[in-house]
């Protein structure tokens, strides 16, 4: 199921692209998100729970204005890793997060740690972000 609160978020996120890979070094099954801010509350909706091993994230409009937060548990809970700015991560084993992701948030701005805590406390994506859940 997909839920959206506003189209302004999608305009802001036009340059976003996220590629998720099942294996290290950008190999194996791939899921691509393009052109908007998105949050996946439960990766089981994508049949991708605890499978992420590498990813590419970018904002083609402004490379520094992107934040990807990977959460260990569904509903944006548990341990998490934050990636700010466009980047390629070829092996999540290097940061002890291989095959751990169960939910994530991708936005076209730099989220602060306080904003990430608010996401965890509310168990909701930031306002206006398209949210995918089971």
Domain count, the chain: 1
**CATH code: domain of residue 57:** 2.60.20.10
Rg (CA), the chain: 13
What is the pLDDT at residue 1?
52
Full domain range(s) for residue 67: 2-132
Least Cα distance to 47 among 31, 26, 36 occurs for: 31
Q: Is the pLDDT assigned to residue 5 strictly greater than 90? A: no
Taking the C-alpha atoms of residue 127 and residue 129, their distance in angstroms, rounded to an integer, is 6
Residue 133 has what pLDDT?
87
Name the nearest CA neighbour of 75 among 116, 109, 42.
42
Give residue-wise pLDDT tens across range 80-131: 999 999 999 999 999 999 999 999 999 999 999 999 999 999 999 999 999 9
The model's pTM is: 0.92
pLDDT digits (tens, 9 = 90+) for 32-77: 999 999 999 999 999 999 999 999 999 999 999 999 999 999 999 9
pLDDT number for residue 14? 87
Q: Which residue, 112, 16, 111, 8, is CA-closest to 67?
A: 111
Q: Give the helix/strand (H/E) hosting 122.
A: helix 113-122
Mean per-residue pLDDT for 2-26?
Answer: 77
């Amino acid at each position: 199921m997909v839920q959206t609160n506003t189209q302004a978020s999608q305009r802001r996120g036009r340059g976003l692209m996220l590629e998720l890979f099942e294996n290290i070094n950008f190999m194996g099954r791939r899921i691509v998100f393009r052109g908007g801010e998105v949050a996946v509350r439960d990766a089981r909706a994508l049949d991708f729970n605890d499978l992420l091993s590498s990813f590419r994230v970018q904002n083609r409009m402004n490379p520094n204005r992107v934040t990807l937060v990977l959460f260990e548990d569904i509903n944006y809970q548990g341990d998490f890793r934050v990636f700010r700015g466009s980047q390629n991560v070829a092996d999540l084993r290097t940061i002890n997060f291989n095959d751990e992701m169960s939910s994530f948030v991708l936005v076209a701005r730099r989220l602060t740690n306080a904003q990430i805590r608010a996401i965890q406390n509310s168990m909701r994506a930031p306002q206006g972000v398209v949210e995918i859940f089971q």
